[in-house]
Amino acid sequence: MMMAASPAQPRRRGYCPGVLAPMEVGDGLLVRVRVPAGILTAAQARRIAALGRELGNGLVDLSHRGNLQLRGLDADGLPPLYAALESLGLLAADVESEAVRNVLTAPAAGLDPQGFDVRAAALALDARLAADAAVRGLTPKFGWLVCGGGVGHLADSSTDVRFDAVADGAGFAFRVALGGTLATAVPIGLCAPAGLPAVAAAIARTFIALRAARDGAPRRMAGLVRETGAGAFAALPGLTPLADAAPPVRAPRAVLGVQSGWLGVAFPFGRLDVDRLDALAGLAERQGCGEIRLTPWRALLLPGVADGTEIAALGGVLDPADVRLRLTACSGAGGCDVGTTDTHADALALARRAPALAAAAGAVHVSGCSKGCAHPAPAAVTLTARAGRYGVDINAAASGAARWPDLSPAEAVDKVAALDALYRQRAEPGVGAEAFLATLAPADL
């Protein structure tokens, strides 16, 4: 058995954290566990929950890149964490190889009859990135995506290099595209599933070489392709012309709730805790096939589970229309050293007291400070904390001066509930929250 790897120095915000590159946040060290193909066994999930309980503060996050994050560790907890993750097969050999393993895999692969089973290709890509020293010059956050289509597709996820399965004879091939979503990425050709790791490595080497040849070159693929075009990539061995290739198969996305082959459950703000993770692992073992799939939607899929009764008691959300999934809030006092309010609890209070405003996606933003990490742009209603109190504003960003400053959390919720009542009473059908709030006169407010 290999020795557990050594950690890098804990990093401040702005980096892409890992296990070997823990990040300092407000509640201690945060570690991000990269899970190959996003597939955890129930036994792995149970052990990770136990590690979070023993070594961290018990909080677990689901990241937008389909990884698990443990929170609240300290430096003394890292060596036992590494030893345990190594025994689970979830520890990279070193910081550099961990950093490049940013592979997002369609979470319903192998479960969704409308999509192709891309699990083997995704695992092969992850292994190649971990082993190939020539790809270690990739820029931070450089990402890969492997998608089999169907109802659990990743068409809207943006990344640096995407492999989308398309029908090819009796099987499938991958449509390879650079820098964006399925709609915006620049296609460069087709590759066979078995050839994917080699094509990926060639793309990585070309990206590194093109950047090295240009001062101030963009750090991400979309920008580089805008500057240089995609010709150097399209000429790589292993790619064949797209010509008459079939389009990727996309069905209307249906992930949450009881689906054909899995039960999908989301958690507001992507926040779990070790008890819930442990309970989900038990559910996967008792009712499913002993697996948990990670998604980029801050949700989990439980393959083979067909009864959501126990999920509601765990605070899980099965209905994609649930207003709790529309809220935006940063970590606040629970996970950031700048935060002074419980942003998650206050946002959930708004879901109860201001349901009409909260139902509009992105309309309600609760920020732990004026930085507005979770949503830097304006929102219909923004609560911005300062020294334990909130400023409330409409159609504004967290960085601005609030129209109603210095409110206690309860007063801020009352203020938004009053705006919600106006919206429900006066807004014409179909008028959005932002448009309605913009029409209110000072006397209304």
Q: Is 186 helix (H, G, I), strand (E, B) or coil?
A: strand
d(CA 84, CA 79): 9
CA distance 191 to 199: 8
Toward ligand SF4, which CB reaches closer, 97 or 367?
A: 367
Report CA-CA distances (Å) from 32 to 68, 137, 190, 236, 277. 6, 21, 32, 33, 15
Minimum CB–partner distance for residue 15 and ligand SF4 (Å): 15
Residue closer to ligand SF4, measured from CB, 69 or 97? 69
Rounded Cα distance, 424 and 429, in Å: 10
Determine the residue with CB nearest ligand SF4: 368
Choice between 197 and 332, CB closer to ligand SF4 = 332
Closest approach of ligand SF4 to the CB of residue 13, in Å: 8
**Least Å from the CB of residue 59 to ligand SF4:** 14
CB closer to ligand SF4 out of 254 and 345: 345
Joined tokens for residue 403? 């129209």
CB 344, min distance to ligand SF4, A = 11
Please say which residue, 26 or 66, places its beta carbon nearer to ligand SF4.
26
Name which of 14 and 429 has its Cβ closer to ligand SF4.
Answer: 14
Contacts of 54 (CB under 8 A, 6+ apart): 77, 80
Non-local (6+) Cβ contacts of 99 within 8 A are: 16, 18, 21, 136, 138, 140
Shortest separation between residue 222's beta carbon and ligand SF4, angstroms: 25
**For residue 259, what are the contacts with CB-CB under 8 A and spacing of at least 6?**
108, 151
Q: Please state the closest distance from residue 106 (CB atom) to ligand SF4, in A.
A: 29
Binding interface with ligand SF4 (CB under 6 A): 330-332, 336, 338-339, 367-369, 371-373
Least gap, CB of 25 to ligand SF4 (angstroms)? 8
For ligand SF4, the closer of residues 229 and 405 by Cβ is: 405
Question: Can you tell me the distance from the alpha carbon of 402 to that of 419, in angstroms, rounded to the nearest whole number?
Answer: 15
Distance (Å, whole) CA 295 – CA 235: 33
CA dihedral angle for residue 110, residue 50, residue 101, residue 21, rounded to 10 degrees: 170
